[in-house]
Chain A
Amino acid sequence: MSTHQEHLSIAGRHLLDRRRFLSSSATALGSIALTNLLGLDGLLAANGPIIDPGRPYTPRQPHYPAKAKNVVVIFCAGAVSQLETWDYKPELIKWDNKPLPGGPAVTFQGPAGNLARPQYAFRPRGQTGKWVSDMIPHLAELTDDFAFVHSLTSKSNTHGPAENFLSTGSVLDGFPSLGAWTTYALGSENQDLPSYVAIPDPRGVPQNGANNWGPGFLPAAFQGTTMSSKSPVRHLSAPGVSPQADQAARSLLQKMNARHLEANPSDQKLAARIASYELAARMQLSVPEINDLSTEPAHILKLYGADDTQNADKAAFAKNCILARRLIERGVRFVQLFNGVYASGGKLNWDGHSDLKGQYDVHASILDQPAAALIRDLKQRGLLQDTLVVWCTEFGRMPFFQKGAKGRDHNPDGFTCWMTGAGVKPGVSTGECDELGQKAVKDIHPLYDFNATILHLLGLDHERLTFEHNGFQRRLTNVEGHVIKEMLA
């Protein structure tokens, strides 16, 4: 049955046009009824959501009942080494400082040096006894809760295209981000806050900057809004304008728009713009409130490490993690939490080419406790039942050091990410790399599969969530993608 819905007949298009008319002219209650109607007969599902441009954030039904309502993506920029974290390769200890069998490789930055053992000690953790590194002791304690995939592959070994690929499903610039697709599909449960928030690392933005939360060719309504514990949403108030003058301008505007609407009653876009000012006014109150961490008790600040006076970067990242939790608490659909920034020779992100251990000591101390606390905190508040937490990075690193250096080069052929929370099967590991950790060899999953799995948990079929752009029914997963069933509860 699903096949004939893929390509709508002209009559089908007319039908949709008519429905769109009804939905935009009906009362709010009417729209809800209509949304249900569309959901039931499958038309919504078959053709991507129907968006009223005037009300882009109206909550919409997923394709099928969702396990997760919200998502937090912890995005580690710069490519975290799987070999120092989640993918234990004891064989590499034996091969330490020996040349790669079959001759030295030429990789992203040039000729390779010798194989190098994991730079941190590993030990078995929790009930599952899975071996995880001492680099991330707090996160390691949660190992039993995670579902790992060790056999991801990327389409590029360059950070820019690869971070695009992770965030948007395309190596090119200008494709919609995962968060934009999600918001486009599902709308928002909270009209007082942005539906999709990107929280950059306190030290800067990741490679490709805004493309990681961009709308691509989707309407701009679905782009991520940046916000962090350091800098709230822009333009929340008019600097230098007295509250009285501000209110006067607002009331003048209301009167002008009301008159204009009266003269142009059939144009829904006008009413939508009026409503957008009302929403903005609510946001002006909600955003400062959500950014005000002074209401957080001391034990919470301590849990996250937000009170760490020795490590300012860690404390700032911890505050971002608390902000993420507060946003989720308030029903924000999609939160992207960045750890690591732009290319900086590995100083400010996970790009450990030259001195991997030295740099990872710094980065791990920023990431570990706050991220683990976020998961614990979501859990203890019961939020993890509806929230999916994803930890990801754009690719992995090579089992050998680079020639003349103590760091590892880019490796798009086998790396690790994980998920936890709503709908995720705890304590599983799927996929394997070879015993040196250079290439995925078993149950290989291109990153498309990882993204398809995230959408699946949100109740979305990655093959049916589409948007027409210049002749393509575009999807997050292009024409690829299989849900990684092993990771599902």
Chain B
Amino acid sequence: MKFLIWLPSFAVTCAIAAPVDFVREVRPIFEKQCYSCHGEKKQKSGLRLDIKSLAFKGGDNHAPDIIASKAKDSPLIHFIITDDEDELMPPKGKLSATEIATLTDWVNEGAAWPDGVDLAKLEDRRDHWSFKPLTRNGGFQPPRAHGKRPSLDGFIEAKLKENGLSKSPETDPISWLRRVTFDLTGLPPTPEEVAAFLSDKSHAAVVERLLASPRYGERWAQHWLDVVRYADTHGFEVNTERPNAWPYRDYVINAFNNDTPYDRFIKEQLVGDAMGQDAATGFLVTASVLLPGQIGKDDQSKRLARQDSIDEIVVNISQTFLGLSIGCARCHDHKFDPITAKDYYAMQAFVAGVEYGDRDLRTPEAEAAREEATRLKPRLAEIDKELARFVPLVKSSAKRPMINARENADRFVPIKAKRVRFTIKATNNLEPCIDELEIFTTSGENVALATAGTQRKSGGDIGVAERHELRFINDGRYGNGRSWMASKIGKGWVELEFTKEQTIERVVWGRDREGKFTDRLAIDYQIEIGDSAGRWHTIADASDRQKFDPKNKKLVKPTLSGLSSDEAKRAKPLMQEKADIEAKIRAAENEQKVFAGTFRAPDEIHLLNRGDPEQPKESVMPAVLSALGNLNVPKESAEQQRRHVLADWIANPQNPLTARVMVNRIWQGHFGTGLVSTPSDFGHQGTKPTHPELLDWLAAEFIRSGWSVKHMHRLIVLSATYRQRSDGVMESWGHGKPTIQQSKTPDPREIDADIRYLWRFPSHRLEAESIRDSMLAVSGQLNLKMHGRGYNLFDQRGGLSGFDPIETFTPDNQRRMIYAHKVRREPETVFGAFDCPDAGQSTAIRRASTTPIQALNLFNSLFTLAQAEAFASRVKKEAGDDIAKQITRAYQLAVSRAPTAGESRETLPIIRKHGIATLCRALFNSNEFLFIP
């Protein structure tokens, strides 16, 4: 508006020279010098100079760019005349003096840029196929394939025809059975399953059997965990164990096995805490995260760490469910997709109350256990008090327990005392601190209490008012907040004097009975009593206790030795009860956590300039992406309510992306490549679907089926498309040798090298987990135990360094690989090389590398050798001593067929000489075993 007002006045003042003309004089300079970086293709620093509105608006850091009539204030002019070499534009070469003068005059004359002269048109970024609504049935009826009933094959065949291709003939039954079994369960079919299928030929029965198998969920959960970058460690430098992550992994396995409707699956992962599915929200916090100790003490570091951790949640939600990469809008509006920085921060606001952490898992059993634990805790305290009377006597033959920070008791033969002195001779660090010193008489009365008139003195105190004072040593209250601290490092003493002589038998003391502090602990001490004559006698010290070593896990257990038979009789049931209660409490506390986020009042979210937490701008309300809707939530909304709104919006049949993205992932899971080959990018940078009508039809079918993932599997694996051969022999070529006619047919490999149109089934190598699982299945060692804490692949479950592989094999670590404890970024020794994701970033597609390291691992590793041996024993057991039979059985188990006569002939002499294990090892390495046919 400004320049419209100024324009007339300049028209007057510059009347003598003709004003600079934008189209004739200015734009040619822009075209020549600027558009290569600030035009239609690229907008470096967010600046675009070929569209009037954007040119005036300016770039990321220098807006507005053109200030009419003020050349010296306009960044446009600044950057072409500056002396700073790094800033000067264009970066290579300077504008000529005439060009500079033209632009400067033009700005000073009011920067007249007539409307309607721009050659470029600002595209509507919302006008993109994946943002358009799904119409009913996808808007398409599937073309009928070969006059049969409508199916997805019609779409495929239409597209093949359009491209001068035709489909391949149906594959042989064994190949289909291997294909579908690997695809749905990640394991090969057993010889018995092969035989059954060959006799009844019922494809549908096979598919139902596989979908009903728990192995199905184990296989398909892995695809999902790849996308959400699930791991059992926290990542970054310390990479410590995340011990309670696995319930989320089990939740995903169960969700696939139960065919949980996908819309519900989404909601549970975002707001499962409101749906009785606590483990599901593990989804929110799957990323690497810095632990508190790794974040700098300065406030900037804290703000940045918090931003990073929310960013991970938002990125995960949008790429997983919506197939959109919105992370770049953290710093600036998305360059290609209609996602603004404000959209991005509005998404953050939905999850601004989520923290990375463990939460109680509220299953009915867990709830009951927790209630019982709460009920039992007071009883435990009572027992402890009682048992303190039965600790072994000092200087008895029994080794007394190690000193602990919470509470220690010294019991001795009853003795008359007027005074008691407690002397600290060493601490684990710093000045000693004692929260309460109690002295019990034979009748069980604590005579140390100040309320009993007992006086106190010490060898020096550090006083912190209302926290550490000498009077707190015998005030009857526990905890660091009411404790005594001595003045010297590593030593000190405190003395109590009773009003009269007492017969005492026990001194009880601790650093912090509330259990929060373990520092400043007296680890060497002595207790003396002063008799009425004023003489001192040592009655207890640390010399007969187990040596203090906090790392020692083999603690001396409370024992009955050192007790009189009467005492033992009274103590025994108490000890038993204590052990039972402790086990119950421990179990209740251990089993019921899940790393699924904790929820609190949301942070206020601001739009951040260039993503910098130190440059907050206006505050932002939770709102869905503006290009896809205008749903927002009042800022006052409760934390859970926010996630509810987001979940409902994503899991809505009207959302154009949700169903399309998921059916594409399912398709990819079967064919190796999706109809959209960029499964987590349905934006402008992603590829377009090869079969848009098919994708929409599948999406509509998905919703119509009640979001049933298993329904989609049935559609796909029973289709003629899926049942094609994979070896590239085309239908038009016939089954025999090529005939002359074919020379006219173009080679399909030339038209469609990547098999995107599916003129054959695209065979592909098994994934890392499937290779390991299949070897175990074939060797007979696969342990099908499901669920629970992961087994170890390495000698440690997390940490800084030194993950040495475990290479002895037990039933526990011969479970399916999805149950392995996944150390983020640490490739499994043998199978990591087979493109196993490291859970650093999301893996929406697994690449399939072929490398000599893979060959070394699979041919030489102890795992392979052990499984080859086990496979050999199995074969001998099942086939007997006849070597020919052994060979046949080995082939049947590994590749679902008997060897040909030629193969048997070749193999026999070798096996005679070296044993069947040699064949087993070779089979595990063979392409036939490792490829989905």
Contacts and interface: CB of A to CB of B under 8 A. Distances in A.
A217 B227 CA distance: 12
A214 B117 CA distance: 51
Interface stretch (A143-151, A266-274, A368-376): A266-274
Interface in B506-554: none
A208 B236 CA distance: 6
Interface stretch (A240-248, A288-296, A300-308, A432-440): A240-248
B862 A175 contact: no
B856 A471 contact: no
B767 to A, nearest CB: 12
Nearest to B929: A256
B298 interface: yes
A13 B754 CA distance: 12
A174 B921 contact: no
B848 A53 contact: yes
Contact of B865 (A7, A218, A225, A241): A241
Interface stretch (B274-282, B446-454, B640-648, B830-838): B830-838
B857 interface: yes
B849 A158 contact: no
Contact of A209 (B41, B229, B328, B826): B826
A341 B829 CA distance: 21
Most buried by B among A105, A158, A283: A158
B926 A257 contact: yes
A220 B913 contact: no
Contact of A471 (B319, B763, B800, B854): B319
Interface string A10-41: 10010001101100110000000000000000
B721 interface: no
Contacts of A270: 927, 931
A330 interface: no
Contacts of A261: 927
A235 B857 contact: yes
B914 A342 contact: no
Interface stretch (A61-69, A107-115, A418-426, A453-461): A107-115
A255 B239 CA distance: 45
B324 A235 contact: no
A253 interface: yes
A173 B838 CA distance: 9
Contact of B843 (A172, A217, A248, A344): A217
Contacts, number: 296
A277 B753 contact: no
Given A158-B295, A204-B802, A266-B749, A3 B41 contact: yes
Nearest to A107: B298
A259 interface: yes
B827 interface: yes
A204 B913 CA distance: 44
A249 B918 contact: yes
A269 B765 contact: yes
B857 A234 contact: yes
Contact of A252 (B847, B851, B865, B918): B918
Interface in B876-922: 903, 906-907, 910, 913-915, 918-919, 921-922
A405 interface: no
Given A205-B801, A220-B847, A236 B856 contact: yes
A267 B801 contact: no
A280 B237 contact: no
Interface in A160-180: 160-161, 163-164, 171-175
B841 A173 contact: yes
A194 interface: yes
Contacts of A17: 752-754
Contact of A236 (B290, B750, B860, B923): B860
A240 B927 CA distance: 25
A469 interface: yes
A173 B865 contact: no
A43 interface: no
Interface residues of A, number: 106
Interface stretch (B437-445, B679-687, B699-707): B679-687
Contacts of B297: 106-110
Contacts of A311: none
B843 A157 contact: no
Interface string B117-159: 0000000000000000000000000000000000000000000
Contact of A470 (B726, B801, B842, B925): B842
Contacts of A470: 319, 325, 678, 680-681, 841-842, 844
Interface in B807-861: 824-827, 829-830, 832-836, 838-844, 847-857, 859-861
A177 B304 CA distance: 23
B635 interface: no
A253 B907 CA distance: 10
Given A108-B296, A233-B856, A175 B850 contact: no
A108 B298 contact: yes
Interface in B293-321: 294-299, 301, 304, 308, 319
Contact of A160 (B237, B298, B903): B237
B236 A209 contact: no
Contacts of B930: 273
Interface string B737-760: 000000000000110111000000
B21 interface: no
Contacts of A107: 296-298
B298 A283 contact: no
Contact of A257 (B688, B827, B850, B927): B927
B423 interface: no
Nearest to A239: B862
A256 B237 contact: no
Contacts of B191: none
A272 B850 CA distance: 7
A344 B800 CA distance: 9
B239 to A, nearest CB: 7
A159 B922 CA distance: 45
Contacts of A237: 860
B753 A56 contact: no
Contacts of A263: 727
B654 interface: no
Given A53-B847, A161-B236, A256-B926, A234 B829 contact: yes
A211 B839 CA distance: 11
A464 B383 CA distance: 71
B843 to A, nearest CB: 7
Contacts of A260: 926-928
Contacts of B36: 2-3
Nearest to A155: B304
A137 interface: no
A358 interface: no
A269 B849 CA distance: 9
B377 interface: no
A54 interface: yes
B229 to A, nearest CB: 7
Given A235-B860, A470-B844, A252 B296 contact: no
B236 A160 contact: yes
A279 B325 contact: no
Contacts of A269: 763-765, 848, 850, 931
Given A174-B288, A219-B835, A233-B856, 15 more contacts: A21-B749, A56-B851, A105-B298, A108-B301, A109-B297, A173-B288, A173-B838, A174-B839, A207-B237, A221-B850, A235-B856, A250-B859, A276-B850, A342-B800, A342-B801
19 contacts: A25-B749, A56-B850, A156-B304, A157-B301, A158-B236, A164-B236, A174-B288, A174-B825, A204-B800, A208-B236, A210-B827, A211-B825, A248-B914, A253-B925, A276-B854, A280-B855, A282-B852, A343-B238, A343-B800
Interface of A: 2-4, 6-7, 10, 13, 17-18, 20-21, 24-25, 53-56, 105-110, 156-161, 163-164, 171-175, 194, 204-205, 207-211, 214, 216-221, 223, 225, 233-241, 244-245, 248-253, 255-257, 259-261, 263-267, 269-270, 272-277, 279-280, 282-284, 341-344, 410, 468-473, 482
